Amino acid sequence: MSYFDQIYHRLFGTTGPKATAILVNEIIKRSQAFVDRFQAWKTSEYCEQFLNELSQSYFWRKQGVDNDPQVVLLESTYSNGIAINYESTYGKNNFHYLFDYLADQVKKLDYRLVMSRHTLREKGDIVESKEMHYLKPRLGFEEPIDQKYGNVQIEYIEENDQPTRIKFVANSYPDRKYKQAENFEDLALHIFSLKD
């Protein structure tokens, strides 16, 4: 901690103007009204169109071409994913439903939901709300273990009550006791589809 931060901490009780304070840390619980609206959204024309546009944007981005809606690729050796930046034309509710929809799609691949958590943090003059779904494949006991696409983490992030992005990341195990993770492109094709 710098000398200035130490003085600031003594005077104001934080480590500086960019200090983070956790305001809420809780398990996500959806109301019945939310669930009903979400179920209606999944069968809407808007949902089908939005998922199709996201799928097209993902595959164009893989070719190095930007398209709307904007999809950012997150690629490394053991982690692959996408980030979708929010635009007001999507609508706040539609974007939020997409977050839960992606988790539902992963569960259809014999994944289990391990955790759904909501945190609210104060970061200087920004209040960040983050919802996260964490899913793991149902693993067998026979080695090499089929890890499918690896563990999946989905985040829905708002800043000052405005959506900013959804992140969807699959993290695979490099351990020899696991089979090599399946191709992320196949997972992306599945999550943006309306198929069961």
Q: pLDDT > 90: what percent of the chain?
A: 74
The dihedrals phi and psi of 45, each to the nearest 5 degrees, come to -65, -35
Which pLDDT value is given to residue 47? 96
Q: Which domain holds residue 60?
A: 20-191
Tell me whether residue 6 is in a domain: no
Specify if 115 maps to a domain: yes
- Is residue 10's pLDDT more than 70? no
Number of domains in the chain: 1
Instruction: Look at residue 2 and tell me whether its pLDDT is greater than 60.
Output: no
d(CA 34, CA 27): 16
For residue 139, the model assigns a pLDDT of: 82
Q: Cite the beta strand spans of 143-189 per DSSP E.
A: 151-159, 162-171
pLDDT confidence bin for 27, thresholds 50/70/90:
very high
**H helix intervals, the chain:** 3-12, 32-42, 45-62, 92-107, 184-191
Mean pLDDT, all residues of the chain = 90
- The neighbouring-strand residues paired with 81 are 74, 169
Q: What is the pLDDT of residue 142?
A: 87
Residue 8 inside a domain? The answer is: no
Segment 33-48 shows an average pLDDT of 96
pLDDT attached to residue 18:
55
What share of residues in the chain are helix, strand, coil (percent, to 5)? 35, 35, 35
Residue 158 belongs to a domain:
yes
- pLDDT at position 24, please? 86
The whole-number pLDDT of residue 194 equals: 78
CA atoms of 48 and 65, how far apart (whole Å): 22
Question: How do residues 50-85 score in pLDDT, each as one tens digit?
Answer: 999 999 999 999 999 888 888 999 999 899 999 999
131 found inside a domain? yes
CA distance 143 to 194: 33
Residue 57 near residue 50, CB atoms below 8 Å: no
Rounded mean pLDDT, 16-31: 80
Model confidence at 5, in pLDDT bands (50, 70, 90)?
A: low
> Which pLDDT does position 19 carry in this prediction?
58
Minimum mean pLDDT among 17-21, 66-70, 129-133, 177-181: which range?
Answer: 17-21
Four-point Cα dihedral 161, 40, 105, 55, nearest 10: -80
Tell me whether residue 5 is in a domain: no
Provide the β-strand partners of residue 127: 122
